[in-house]
Structure 1
Amino acid sequence: MPIVVLTTAAGAPGATTTALGLALTWSGPTLLVEADPAGSSIASGYFRGSVDHSYGLLNLALGRTQTDLAQAILDESRVLDEEADRRILLGLAEPAQASALTSWWEPIAEGLLQLDAAGYTVLIDAGRLTQGSYPMPLLGVADLVLVMCRGTLSSAVRTQPIAAALHDVLERTGRAEQLGLGVIGQSDYGPQEIAKALRLPLVLRLPEDPQNARVLSDGVNERKFSTSALAKAYRAASMELTSTVARRRQVVGLEDTPPPQPRQPAQADQPVAPAQPVRPAHQPSGPTHQPSGSAHQPSGPVHEQTPPRPGPQRMAEESGGPR
């Protein structure tokens, strides 16, 4: 199944909202990883502060004693939609914790590869490329790396130098073909014009819909969300991205196997570090929004030839970070 990274240059182009919207509409087992070094916005937004950080990304790094990375990630994740097996690995509680993950991005990336091979779609919100402690090894295992941009001139101008730097990083590791553009809305310039100016293939386009986007960004209750143009666009985009990655993987001969199931950690798995948060007896689940419906699928160039993924270690060693 696909591994898709969403990243941004500056401002608020909607990468987190898009990642969450895709996670809630993707068909089959899906894991959303909130890897933004700036911290979790989904915990306070979509979940409206109803969850704590007893489970999540930092807890995975501080307390992992299991050798099964994929299972450890599932154990630290929370339920988005139990019936459809949609889960989220919540991000950091605050930006100051990001430095603790610097040496953990590579093993986390390896665990995500295991989940990918086991049949999970993995969606990664990587945050701004300009931030410190950026999770570059996660890009080394991605099928697609989408730079998100709003359909405005100012957003395109801020995105251009970052997109160029990211292209150079991925090109040095043979991954430039994985880079694409996601555009939300449009104003004076259409998505195709922005893609041409940024020299990136247009892979994802979504409508500007602030009212319905608040269902995801702020956890508001909107009864018409499931039939909104935004929900339909997420569903169509997930289908298109799945098809794109499937065609690419046929070239390199990658195959999927049945997914493992999340479980509660055994007592032996409990971390012993003093800083480890106390785990609740049961994982609380958050609100569930089920976007549905159908619409035309977003258009955009598709690159069929894809080199094998270099893996997180090579990406970390050869990239040198964005310039």
Structure 2
Amino acid sequence: MALVALANAKGSPGTTTTALVLAISWPRPVLLVEADLAGASILAGYFRGQLAHDRGLSQLAIAHSHGELETSLWDQTLALVQNNQDKKLLPGIVSPHQAPSVANLWGALANQLVALERGGMDVIVDLGRLGPAGRDDREPILRLADQVVLTTGSRLPDIAVSRELVRSRTSVLEEAARDLTNLATLTIGPGRPYEAKEIARTLGLGSVGSIAWDPVNAEVLSVGSPTGRKWGSSPLVRSAGPVVTAIQERTTTRRERFSTGMPARGTPMGNGAIGGTGR
């Protein structure tokens, strides 16, 4: 598998923490791209502000303007996990005011991220809040992603805004096609009060499961709190494993189906779809 994008609707939090725990749990080499147009938070949070924000998308956009995107990509990354070169981070922009400066980067970057698969590197992209269809500069990433995972809380306001986002971006999917589209939902904090399967049915999407509601251990990722002895076996970390497996299985299923040249009935192909048919 290659490219997985995580996104959310307005007011539905937890995407960055989820992207981090998935990247840390990922079984293959992985690059986490912080592509939230609201601004980066990983350096200030997970890294506790101890690293200078002198690498990332803004610098990569400058390199791209000089035709040096491919050769400069790795220079703009840093190790996500200490002493582990198999897990990398490409930091995002500092603030929303910098979003226009990277607007021309997304198409070329999406193609470059897809190409990383040939070198054995998977990619997780944290998109943050997703804009309206046709009005979000990051659409190339959505079109090329093997999976677009819409994160949502399990409370009614979270589900409501997520449902509106899905309605604005997708056509109605037939039941048989839901597991073959590149769009799925991921519930953060199931059972508060609704469960992941119930939310997926409400949104009309397939599901890759849920991430446990574990605020204490989530702060290791969100604000750089020290890891306790049992962090690796915490509900947060343990819940990430099945989600990774579900994403991999959905990706394999889509690739096998579309490699036959027979698109799934009902899979969204035109305007209003989250993404295309993938690769």
TM-score bin (small chain): 0.7 to 0.9
- How far apart in 2 are the matches of 1:92 and 1:100? 9
Closer, same or farther in 2 for the Cα pair 1:195/1:32, shift >3 Å? same
TM-score, structure 2 as length reference: 0.84
State the shift of 1:66 in Å: 5.1
- Is it true that 1:197 corresponds to 2:198 in the alignment? no
Return the letter of the residue paired with 2:214. Answer: D
- How far apart in 1 are the matches of 2:272 and 2:161? 22
- How far apart in 1 are the matches of 2:234 and 2:273? 42
State the shift of 1:10 in Å: 1.4
TM-score, structure 1 as length reference: 0.73
Matches within 5 A, 1:245-260: 245-253=251-259
- How far apart in 2 are the matches of 1:72 and 1:169? 41
Match of 2:36 in 1: 36
Matches within 5 A, 1:7-156: 7-64=7-64, 65=66, 67=68, 69=70, 71-81=71-81, 82-83=83-84, 85-130=86-131, 133-156=136-159
Q: Which runs of 5 or more structure 2 residues have no equivalent in the other structure?
A: none
- The percentage of aligned residue pairs carrying the same residue is 33
- Is it true that 1:165 corresponds to 2:168 in the alignment? yes
- Is it true that 1:240 corresponds to 2:241 in the alignment? no
1:248/1:305 contact within 8 Å kept: no
My pick for the range that moved more, 220-229 or 244-253, is: 244-253
Match of 2:182 in 1: 178
- How far apart in 2 are the matches of 1:232 and 1:105? 33
- How far apart in 2 are the matches of 1:134 and 1:321? 13
1:66/1:72 contact within 8 Å kept: no
Deviation sequence 1:87-106 (CA, Å, 0-9, x none): 01000011100011212110
Closer, same or farther in 2 for the Cα pair 1:305/1:209, shift >3 Å? farther
Return the letter of the residue paired with 2:99. Answer: A
1:105/1:137 contact within 8 Å kept: yes
2:130/2:136 contact within 8 Å kept: no
Q: Secondary structure of 1:242's partner?
A: helix
- How far apart in 2 are the matches of 1:100 and 1:83? 31
State the shift of 1:247 in Å: 3.4
Match of 2:214 in 1: 209
Q: Secondary structure of 2:208's partner?
A: strand
1:36/1:126 contact within 8 Å kept: yes
Matches within 5 A, 1:251-290: 251-253=257-259
- How far apart in 1 are the matches of 2:15 and 2:235? 18
2:154/2:192 contact within 8 Å kept: yes
Match of 2:236 in 1: 230
Q: Secondary structure of 2:192's partner?
A: coil
Aligned residues: 263
2:142/2:274 contact within 8 Å kept: no
- How far apart in 2 are the matches of 1:107 and 1:42? 24
My pick for the range that moved more, 183-192 or 144-153, is: 183-192
Q: Secondary structure of 2:61's partner?
A: helix
Q: Secondary structure of 1:177's partner?
A: coil
Match of 1:289 in 2: none
State the shift of 1:138 in Å: 0.7
